[in-house]
Structure 1
């Protein structure tokens, strides 16, 4: 089938702090490519808000197209595509738009029975999964997750799946901590009310913890993660840090024998999974299995499903109203 010239609506960061919905031309899929009519796309709050406002460790180049987590129906396939076919419901690692052109490698069929609104969390699920996998959580071991944003919420659930006991979550926003306690966390530490060490002591009877997953992206939180990690503990840096962290490596890392692991998803192998280092596609598959068998829940993380025309509002919510908004999804149908 040949459709000729195709037009799509897309979210665009026109310049620093400016969000717009624009019409773009989309080419037909070439060799190894897939065209997806998007149903839903999920905002990745930490990354996209940081890129929008040009925070440290972001490109600061505009215009740019945000987003990397969508679900939709395959409407065209290019030459040589074998994994999916027209009519399939797929997840697609692509920007926010009504039509998405992606490589076959960047899409995966959504298993039967999985709600598309749950499936759209596939990429954030994979990001959290690879971080927890790198933490090497042992059954019965306490785990602390710093930050109760989307990836922190997912990491807390996955730490519990991995056998972490108890799982603690620390954040400044009570609304987010309540969600964490409802699904996965055993203890919540409200950092707007209590210092981190005091909160740990109340929950564990000790002021340190063997596994810390840092999911805030705050430079100060990275320093805190290193300080409260126990001797011979592990600290996994899941959040992308937006600034420079000042650390006394002798006292917080060297003398305690800490293992510190960077867990950016771009470090994953591209072809074959290894113990502790799965490919991104294998992590997607694991995410869907966890959903299907009820080990992972994401529906409670959705606070807003909005039309793309409300994109400027949506990013403002996530930047300014963290006590009300968490999982924001664009509905493109």
Structure 2
């Protein structure tokens, strides 16, 4: 299938063949009939992409700061990879479309194949022939619906949320500043609600369009003589009950102008992208104005449980969610209460999408809504896409399932380039990522289905997906008779671990987990220095806080930070002392969100060694992240952030310092591949992987038991 993409680095925009999207649980696959270009949101993205690197940096100072922080902590190589991953990626465009359902995922009951639907969401409702959309970002339409109008779904919901935040009643007045797509849609919704609407814009053409189509009761340009007086007259001298700012500008004029024209105790709703540093006097303070933000499509936006898992908010308690806003917007169109036909000033065939965006950037002629029309007679194709002319295989033939930031920065660049190793296929959730990774890292194809990377051509699978899919993919790979490298954790459920143990026993294939720190060059020196005697160990991690609403903290998807990251440090202590953990006890610092991500863990090992993992999410970012102390038979050692090692024994301490942090990712990948080439074995014993994973589960059990010691 084809999709419109753009590279952030060069600004190059192309329609290209990408793999068919993955159909996840609670999702539908939709064949697009129309999608709508948002001149504001997408236009600014395209303009930014076409700027120089300096221009991009000026527009994104926060991201520049992140690059500098990464450079300080991880060195130039990792920083370069992270930056280039962003700049070279094929970024999908679009977030509002309508079409026909052609597949439904597991657990979907409200949609059927053949249903007409309208879709929303960046990363989902893209400018592409085929899209995969979660059910709460998709609404069902009547079969006779005009799909071009329905494709305004996202923009309509955004405008609807702005109107709801204004909370106006029949007969009240509202001034809309900015008569682009969002402003005109908001005006239409308000007019249908019996509200007096006054429209303001810097563009005479935008005002004329709104007036000619009876969208506003009064339309004025911002620089019109006596504009404030005319608004006062139109509102019987009171001022506007509410002002909705639907403009996009860096100027403070809209927010200050809103203060001037709103009535006392009125509301100002920010719907567009404008600064809010208003002047306190004379209007905002003396009128006691209320400033409100409209969050995108409405309640549910940015909520992983709502958008990805499809868990709805109960209607009696949250009357208008983002999906219900979409449904209300579609109902207004279907019943003829609003007519948005006039908004589509331009329509392009999807094949000419680049010309449409050239119009958005150049503004060579006036436009409002730009629709892309798709060839619906074209059949959906699920075949894999070749990205290399070579089909040569080696002794080790690698495919990737998942290839996000970590894989692109730490796994893929470190696969040895030798005739003994072939790069076969890449399968990810999004076709754009699959295509770019396959091209950049010289794989033979990007895949559409799991079967493509689990066939006979592949004998080794790298799993680098979200944590909840690790266990299932490891099992599928073993049952397909493949060696497996899986990013930590190996699974999120104890029952999955038991299945993996059984599957590995039957397949006799190598299973490797991404415990990279044991492969750091400084780790080798530390381990040799402390020897094989029983030892005491301390591993302190200044992990930093991660919001509770991120996928990592979600127990079903990410497993939380103990299963998702603390396993790293349990493994490290296991490797250092050379024996398996047998008992753990753990206590967590109480926190309001019950995340259990600030905790002390005491581990007992078979050989009598003991270790403490001090994992803290409540510290300062300015402090180094990781620090290790080891004491054994008169030897002491410290390892600071995998950059500086000190060994204390007789005489002066021995120091070993490296310029760039090295956590062993390169050495880990090479050790895995070389192990397969040499004897078919993984460099980490499978029993270590099992014991560390079990210990991670027992940490959570001990926390629940109030710190009670638990046997592994």
Q: In which range does the TM-score fall when normalised by the shorter chain? A: 0.7 to 0.9
Q: In structure 2, which of residues 169, 172, 176 is the aligned counterpart of residue 141 of structure 1?
A: 172
Q: Does structure 2 conserve the Cα–Cα contact (< 8 Å) formed by 1:176 and 1:323?
A: no
Q: Does structure 1 conserve the Cα–Cα contact (< 8 Å) formed by 2:115 and 2:143?
A: no
Q: In structure 1, which of residues 78, 96, 113 is the aligned counterpart of residue 144 of structure 2?
A: 113
Deviation at 1:277, TM superposition (A): 6.1
1:223 paired to 2:256: yes
Q: In structure 2, which of residues 328, 337, 341 is the aligned counterpart of residue 295 of structure 1?
A: 337
Q: Does structure 2 conserve the Cα–Cα contact (< 8 Å) formed by 1:304 and 1:325?
A: yes
Match of residue 88 from structure 1: 115
Q: Secondary structure at the match of 2:287?
A: coil
Decide whether aligned partners of structure 1 residues 81 and 59 sit closer, same or farther in structure 2, where only a CA change above 3 A counts.
farther
Distance 1:206 1:318 in 2: 39
Q: In structure 1, which of residues 49, 59, 72 is the aligned counterpart of residue 99 of structure 2?
A: 72
1:24 paired to 2:18: yes
Q: In structure 1, which of residues 42, 45, 52 is the aligned counterpart of residue 46 of structure 2?
A: 52
Distance 2:37 2:62 in 1: 18
Q: Whose relative contact order is higher, 1 or 2, with alpha carbons under 8 Å and at least 6 apart? A: 1
Deviation at 1:199, TM superposition (A): 4.4
Q: Secondary structure at the match of 1:80?
A: coil
Decide whether aligned partners of structure 1 residues 185 and 84 sit closer, same or farther in structure 2, where only a CA change above 3 A counts.
same
**Cα distance per residue 1:230-267 (max 9 Å; x no partner):** 211110111123xx443223533232111111002265
Question: Which shifted more, 70-79 or 312-321?
Answer: 312-321
Distance 1:193 1:323 in 2: 23
1:15 paired to 2:1: no
What is the 5 A alignment of 1:1-333?
8-15=1-8, 17-54=11-48, 62=87, 63=89, 64-93=91-120, 94-165=125-196, 167-181=197-211, 182-191=213-222, 193-194=224-225, 196-201=227-232, 203-204=234-235, 206=237, 208-218=239-249, 219-220=251-252, 221-241=254-274, 244-265=275-296, 268-269=299-300, 270=306, 271-273=313-315, 278-321=320-363, 324-333=366-375
Distance 1:319 1:194 in 2: 31
What TM-score, normalized by structure 2, do the two folds share? Answer: 0.43
User: Which structure's CA Rg is the greater one?
Assistant: 2
What TM-score, normalized by structure 1, do the two folds share? Answer: 0.87
Deviation at 1:19, TM superposition (A): 2.6
Q: Does structure 1 conserve the Cα–Cα contact (< 8 Å) formed by 2:161 and 2:297?
A: no
Q: Does structure 1 conserve the Cα–Cα contact (< 8 Å) formed by 2:21 and 2:131?
A: no
**Cα distance per residue 1:266-315 (max 9 Å; x no partner):** 65144234688610111111112211221111111001110223323222
Distance 1:161 1:102 in 2: 30
Distance 1:178 1:322 in 2: 18
Deviation at 1:150, TM superposition (A): 0.7
Count of aligned pairs between the two proteins: 323
Q: Does structure 1 conserve the Cα–Cα contact (< 8 Å) formed by 2:26 and 2:105?
A: yes
Question: Which shifted more, 205-214 or 288-297?
Answer: 205-214
Distance 2:347 2:61 in 1: 27
Distance 2:60 2:372 in 1: 26
Q: Does structure 1 conserve the Cα–Cα contact (< 8 Å) formed by 2:231 and 2:261?
A: no
* Superposition RMSD in Å: 2.6
Question: Runs of 5+ in structure 2 lacking a partner?
Answer: 49-55, 64-85, 301-305, 307-312, 376-712
Q: Which has the higher helix share?
A: 2
Q: Does structure 2 conserve the Cα–Cα contact (< 8 Å) formed by 1:36 and 1:74?
A: yes
Q: Does structure 2 conserve the Cα–Cα contact (< 8 Å) formed by 1:134 and 1:276?
A: no
